[in-house]
Amino acid sequence: MTMFTCGPVEMFKEAAIVRSLGFVHFRTSEYGQMVKDILKEISQLLGNTVENSLIYLASSGTGAMEAVIENCMTVKDKALVINGGGFGKRFCELLEYHNIPFESIDLEWNETLTAKHFEPFENSLRGGVKFTTLFVNIHETTSGQLYDIQLISDFCKRNNLYLVVDAISSFLADDYNMEKYGIDTTIISSQKGLCCSPGMALLSFSRKMINKINSNPLPVSKYFDFKDYLINIPRGQTPYTPPVLVMYEIREMLKLINKSGGKDCWINKVKEKTNYFRLKAPQLGFKIPDYPMSNMLTAVQFDDVSAYEVIQVLKDKYHLYINPCGGKLADKLVRVSHIGNTTVEDIDNLLDKLVLSANEVKERNVYAKL
Ligand SMILES: *Cc1c(COP(=O)(O)O)cnc(C)c1O
């Protein structure tokens, strides 16, 4: 099975084999030093020069999203959420669960975020409370839309808001820089752009956000109390057992990224596959929505057959796997990821088989009607 998925992805051999090579126990200074070096490199990739500002958790991405709400917010805060799909909605649900006041900018799945969406929120004291923090999944993975970070950053600077960015599905596929855009918290995770196993989430903070976390008067989750993680990180340590082997996989991926020429070259490699797919797919009659999309994936729209059924044929008959969409988009959209260890030849093969699978579902429908 070849996976063109958002994460976990088709892994690179160098990272996939580390589990068989053994590892150093995590409470040693050798492990701590390795972690410090790795986290320093990831901070550079994120464009954050604040020292000891990157922590990591044994958690999937959602655990980190929830932990951010607990650690970076209080009931005195008020959040504004860009809600353009499943992951935006998840931020809303988590804020609600933790009783943090919020409002959301709700977008249709194919509606592009523009300056006009922000107008009602400029200098806004809605309900007598000022917004303090903006939450965005910079790439809304459920539709593929990549939001305009400059637009969001400008709004936050004008209105003096903290900016929290879930960059889980954008990191290492699109350009990103925390200091350039004034981002206060970035959430990433091991199984997406880093192309490693699931199990680790990483969080990078601005100086301002570290101060806010350390002065949060509320009791937060014991396990996810960022203050404990921040105290331990100068030694490359965590309060509890970390996903040690994922860390070794990340080390291999960083070597590969450096070997390719660094971050920009790596992103260009992803982008080449993305551009190739987006050039070829319409030539074969596939429809790609017209909102701005991340390099990480391309959504393909099906109007006359069930997208979900096409995915099943593709998987069962041709052993190729692409991501379905949830909810009301299940029959309408598929998502083809361009990260991971796949090539342009793999894309040719995928497109061939996608045509065959769509035709098979079409024919099946014709027979069903006879
Ligand atoms: C994958 C993803 C997550 C995290 O999902 P988990 O299943 O909890 O790892 C969060 N946000 C975005 C935008 C994602 O793509």
Domain CATH code at residue 354: 3.90.1150.10
pLDDT band at 124 (very low <50, low <70, confident <90, very high): confident
In contact, 308 and 324? CB cutoff 8 Å? yes
pLDDT, the chain, mean = 96
Instruction: Confirm or reject: Cβ of 61 under 6 Å from ligand 1.
Output: yes
Evaluate whether residue 6 is within a structural domain: no
- 130-157 b/e with 16+ CB inside 10 Å = b? ebbbbbbbbbbbbbbbbbebeebbebbe
Q: Answer positive or negative: Cα dihedral of 346, 348, 352, 358.
A: positive
Same domain, 105 and 175: yes
Please tell me the total count of domains within the chain: 2
pLDDT of residue 343: 96
Q: How many residues does the chain have?
A: 370
Same domain, 211 and 268: no
Same domain, 243 and 281: no
**What tokens appear for 307 in the block?**
């997208």
- Give the span between the Cα atoms of 121 and 308, in whole angstroms: 38
Same domain, 338 and 246: no
Q: What is the mean pLDDT of residues 155-168?
A: 97
Evaluate whether residue 4 is within a structural domain: no
Selection from 241, 247, 211, 240 nearest residue 227 by Cα: 211
pLDDT band at 218 (very low <50, low <70, confident <90, very high): confident
Name which residue sits closest to atom 4 of ligand 1, judged by CA.
61
Q: What is the mean pLDDT of residues 42-51?
A: 98
- Chain centroid to CA 124: how far? 29
Q: Which of 223, 244, 259 is the last residue of a domain?
A: 259
Q: What are the two backbone dihedrals, phi and then psi, of residue 337, each rounded to the nearest 5 degrees?
A: -85, 150
SS3 state of residue 323? strand
Question: Of all atoms in ligand 1, which is nearest to the CA of residue 7?
Answer: 1
Same domain, 250 and 116: yes
pLDDT of residue 275: 98
Give the number of other Cβ atoms within 10 Å of residue 20's Cβ: 6
> How does DSSP assign 187-254, residue by residue?
EEETTTTT---S-EEEEEE-HHHHHHHHT--S---STT-HHHHHHHGGGT--SS---HHHHHHHHHHH
Evaluate whether residue 8 is within a structural domain: no
Instruction: Confirm or reject: Cβ of 166 under 6 Å from ligand 1.
Output: yes
Q: Using the predicted structure, report yes or no on whether residue 344 has a pLDDT greater than 90.
A: yes
pLDDT band at 199 (very low <50, low <70, confident <90, very high): very high
pLDDT band at 322 (very low <50, low <70, confident <90, very high): very high
Domain of residue 206, CATH code: 3.40.640.10
Same domain, 119 and 137: yes
Evaluate whether residue 272 is within a structural domain: yes
| pTM as predicted | 0.96
Same domain, 278 and 216: no
Evaluate whether residue 3 is within a structural domain: no
Same domain, 200 and 280: no
pLDDT of residue 280: 98
Q: Where are the alpha helices (DSSP H) in 260-343?
A: 263-283, 307-318
Question: Of all atoms in ligand 1, which is nearest to the CA of residue 142?
Answer: 15
Same domain, 232 and 294: no
Helix axes 344-369, 263-283, angle to 10 degrees: 30
Q: What is the largest CA-CA distance in the chain?
A: 71
Q: Using the predicted structure, report yes or no on whether residue 362 has a pLDDT greater than 90.
A: yes
Evaluate whether residue 7 is within a structural domain: no
Same domain, 253 and 174: yes
Same domain, 293 and 245: no
Q: For the chain, what percent of residues have pLDDT higher than 70?
A: 100
Q: What is the mean pLDDT of residues 183-194?
A: 98
Ligand 1 mean position, distance from CA 142 (Å)? 10
Instruction: Confirm or reject: Cβ of 66 under 6 Å from ligand 1.
Output: no
Evaluate whether residue 1 is within a structural domain: no
Same domain, 128 and 269: no
Q: Which domain holds residue 327?
A: 263-369
Q: Which of 242, 259, 276 is the last residue of a domain?
A: 259
Instruction: Confirm or reject: Cβ of 60 under 6 Å from ligand 1.
Output: yes
Instruction: Confirm or reject: Cβ of 141 under 6 Å from ligand 1.
Output: yes
Evaluate whether residue 360 is within a structural domain: yes
Report angle CA 41, 47, 50 to the nearest 5 degrees: 80
